[in-house]
Structure 1
């Protein structure tokens, strides 16, 4: 995502990458990329994919938190945990595919200067945000 922009020591990068801060991340990227009016429709598709991935990441984190709480119980078997992880990874893969589908036409609209900025800032994070 934007590891170079903020120090990991102060936690700002982690906070910005949090699914709870997706709108701030979208606004930051839009400003840094200096998008034109003509690029807005393609950017909207990317922003919508980022929102969907953030929602997915938030749901996955909540689900994993609940799984951790019940991990000590007999009901949470290794097979059930594997099933949960498999579902989470499948959802993550689908989110990445949707993000890629939105990103390809958007990236094609960027100028060389915008691409240089995008290449530094538009990096998918482990939980699907950008």
Structure 2
């Protein structure tokens, strides 16, 4: 029953987003040469997977173009850069930094450079870089 309710909630949410986007496009088309076009992003920062919900601390900084999937969690004062992807069940620790365009498959308690592919846990106080990421 809970799965059905979740499915319905997601379907209704998608329908409302699609309707809003269509109405916005129609309004812009009616404005002709006088209209102001502001491209709205439909990107979703957190994506639930099956019954797993991402957990993001309210005082963390997750870029609008980053994606947190499944059971991943982002700790207090952590930063997830633009275009980064964090897969659950990874844990981004308190104050940790995930660089732009990084792909995270393991816990990050320290920091990783832009574009790093993290497949092993990054301990606190360490900086990792590369594909796959290694300690620098």
Higher strand share: 2
Q: Which has the higher contact order (CA 8 A, sep 6+)?
A: 1
Pick the structure with more helix per residue.
Answer: 1
TM-score by length of 1: 0.31
Q: TM-score, normalised by structure 2?
A: 0.30
